[in-house]
Amino acid sequence: MVRGVYIHIPFCHQICNYCDFNKFYFHNQPVDEYIESLGKEMALWQDDLAKAKIETIFLGGGTPTALSLEQLERLLTLIHQYIPLEHVKEFSSEANPDELTLEKMQLMRKFGVNRLSMGVQTFNQDLLKILGRTHSNNHVYDVIQYAKQTEFPSISIDLMYGLPNQTMEQWKESLQEAFRLKIPHISAYSLLVEPKTIFYNLLSKGKLSLPGEDLEAEMYGYLMDEMKRNGYKQYEISNFSYEGKASEHNLLYWNNDEYIGLGAGAHGYVNSIRYSNHGPLKKYMQQLEIGEKPVMMQKEVTYEEKMEEEMFLGLRKNQGVSLSNFEKRYGKSLYEAYGNEIEELLKKELIEIKNDYVFLTNRGRFVGNEVFQYFLK
């Protein structure tokens, strides 16, 4: 059953040097028309939405907060018009700190948004410039103050390590600043240099200086130790939260549950079919003009692929994969499906089995991708 909705807002006032998501410079784009197209797409999904039990909504991008106050209100109005909200527990929006005004936050609270996910990345101003970010630490402090004024239930920030020229000391300082601010949820990712990004072009020309694997591993080890010491629970390889503040929407992905993806370049998973929408705005909007869903590609997930996804998504969680739930879903035990792989990973001490769950050991978290490969045929 569909449990979540992802809505993609592909507009940015500034393109970050590391970003490979579907995005466009805000200036001279058909933003108002795009929002109306989103409404048309929601209408085409109404039958599925009516049957679903929507528990999470996530506005991602791009940057949803790049929208003007009026555009944001129109988007939220359409969401209320087409998406059943009676079961929604978590309504999140990504945000840039320098785009969040008190008025926008008041508007979001009015329409039921109860969680902000801010792209902070680092509290070091020099590193922010290298990343192509436009905000300052003062913008982050302002948003935290606005959150108190508007009684926002939860705030999450993204941090990055393994950045160009980043030192261990800079990483420690960013983490300590986040702890000082008592942010209830922190996602911390190592930099991945993806194709079609400014960083990729610089790296291919030998103009990007990155920390080595040893330093990156040291940064990750420090991250896990300090999170625990400061009262955060690690519930996924890159995610940490105070008690009760884990991201319900992201857990939906890692639990291999179904969700509807709306917007240009969005991905979804419905009725055992994974699909992706057209990325270019013109193509996305043209399909909706003629009353068709803007789906570019779709693929039915096979029985074997579902089991693979259950493993490599579920093992990202600290809790891991439930043995009993796996057997209930797929009609065979985990050992029947992956007995040799499980035994080998146990011998290497990369996984552990306890109380109905198979999960990564502390050592396994450092080489998660290596573990996941065992379950990909």
Measured between alpha carbons, how far is 157 from 66 in angstroms, rounded to an integer?
17
Starting from the edge strand earliest in sequence, which strands make up the sheet with 351-354, in order? 321-322, 357-360, 351-354
Q: Is residue 313 part of a domain?
A: yes
Q: Report the pLDDT value the prediction gives residue 198, as an integer from 0 to 100.
A: 84
Tell which of 254, 285, 316 closes a domain. Answer: 254
The residue among 13, 4, 196 whose CA lies nearest residue 83 is: 4
CB of 311 closer than 8 Å to CB of 375: yes
Q: Is residue 293 part of a domain?
A: no
Shared-domain flag, residues 200 and 317: no
Query: Which amino acid is it at 127?
Result: L
Sorted by sequence, the CB contacts under 8 Å of residue 37 that are 6+ apart come out as: 284, 285, 288, 289
Q: Is residue 275 part of a domain?
A: no
Summarised one tens digit per residue, pLDDT across range 159-215 is 999 999 999 999 999 999 999 999 999 999 999 888 888 888 888 888 888 888 999
Q: Is residue 268 part of a domain?
A: no
Measured between alpha carbons, how far is 26 from 235 in angstroms, rounded to an integer?
35
Q: Is residue 265 part of a domain?
A: no
Question: What domain count does the chain have?
Answer: 2
Shared-domain flag, residues 25 and 158: yes
Tell which of 222, 254, 286 closes a domain. Answer: 254
Q: Report the pLDDT value the prediction gives residue 21, as an integer from 0 to 100.
A: 72
Summarised one tens digit per residue, pLDDT across range 285-298 is 999 999 999 999 99
* Mean pLDDT value across residues 131-139: 93
- Residues in the chain, overall count: 377
Check pLDDT > 80 for residue 217.
yes
User: What's the number of CA atoms in the CB half-sphere (13 Å) around residue 372?
Assistant: 15
Summarised one tens digit per residue, pLDDT across range 295-309 is 999 999 999 999 999
Shared-domain flag, residues 197 and 311: no
Shared-domain flag, residues 214 and 310: no
Q: Is residue 290 part of a domain?
A: no
**Mean pLDDT score of the chain, rounded to an integer?**
95
Q: Report the pLDDT value the prediction gives residue 194, as an integer from 0 to 100.
A: 85
Q: Report the pLDDT value the prediction gives residue 12, as an integer from 0 to 100.
A: 86
Shared-domain flag, residues 88 and 228: yes
Q: Is residue 297 part of a domain?
A: no
Q: Report the pLDDT value the prediction gives residue 62, as an integer from 0 to 100.
A: 86
Measured between alpha carbons, how far is 201 from 194 in angstroms, rounded to an integer?
10
Q: Which residue has the tokens 């291999």?
A: 256
Tokens of 371: 């573990």
Measured between alpha carbons, how far is 237 from 368 in angstroms, rounded to an integer?
8
Shared-domain flag, residues 236 and 348: no
The model's pTM is 0.95
CATH (domain of 330): 1.10.10.920
Check pLDDT > 90 for residue 50.
yes
Tell which of 193, 222, 254 closes a domain. Answer: 254
Q: Is residue 125 part of a domain?
A: yes
Q: Kindly state the DSSP code that residue 237 receives in the 8-state scheme.
A: T
Range of the domain at 355: 304-373
Q: Which residue has the tokens 């992802």?
A: 6
